[in-house]
Amino acid sequence: MKNRKLSLKKLLLFPAIFIGLSNCQKDDSAEINDFSGYYKIVSINSSIPIDCNNDGIKSNNYLQEISSPHRLNNEFSDGFFRVDNPRFFVEVRPTKSNGDNYAKRIAFNFPHQYIMFINDNSEMPFLSFYSSELINYSYEFMENGVVKIKDENPEFQTKTANNLTIQRKDKIEFELNMNKKIFDFVTKKWVESNIRVKYKRSE
């Protein structure tokens, strides 16, 4: 009689375990949302004209400015920034490669100028390289394609950019709007501009 009761308990227990595992599997897969993945820059526009490559010409086309060869001592060097470099791709988590971590995080990896000065002379700036900045953000979905962004490292990142907002166009494109500090080689100063960046999902 005791064995029959034990067998009955096992029969009742197995379906409960199966249902529990099924629910976990559904919850986990639901966390990989249609926003997750990698995106590359399509265009970047600035609200004010800026000279980023030290050629003496200001432009509102920020992407063209940072993609063009940079002038130093009347010579031009290429290759500081390329849109196809994965180092500057946006990473929207969670992705399948994140394992069991389903936190909604964004690393924009936005190209930020690293400026140095010859002999510490403020009148002789030059571009050393582009660093990948704006990497520590969380997000949540709002209505009408709006994605609310939270800065998880404001003490550091607000020195580079602030007021970040995202508007999804569809499942493969979104637009980032922000106020960003940019070094202008004509005035030889850091200026703040409103920057609008269009991204498209990387293949």
Domain membership of residue 25 as a residue range: 1-31
Residue 6, pLDDT score: 45
Residue 15, pLDDT score: 45
Q: Residue 147 carries which side chain, given as an amino acid letter?
A: V
Residue 79, pLDDT score: 81
Residue 97, pLDDT score: 83
Main-chain dihedrals φ then ψ at residue 62, nearest 5 degrees = -65, -35
Same domain, 38 and 17: no
Same domain, 8 and 45: no
Residue 78, pLDDT score: 85
Residue 142 in tokens: 């709002």
The mean pLDDT values, 10 residues at a time, for the chain of 203 residues are: 47 42 42 91 98 96 95 86 96 88 95 94 93 96 96 92 96 97 97 98 88
Contacts 24+ apart (CB under 8 A), 106-112: 106/137, 106/138, 106/139, 106/149, 107/134, 107/135, 107/136, 107/137, 108/133, 108/134, 108/135, 108/137, 108/164, 108/176, 109/133, 109/134, 109/135, 110/134, 110/161, 110/180, 110/197, 111/66, 111/81, 112/160
Same domain, 26 and 42: no
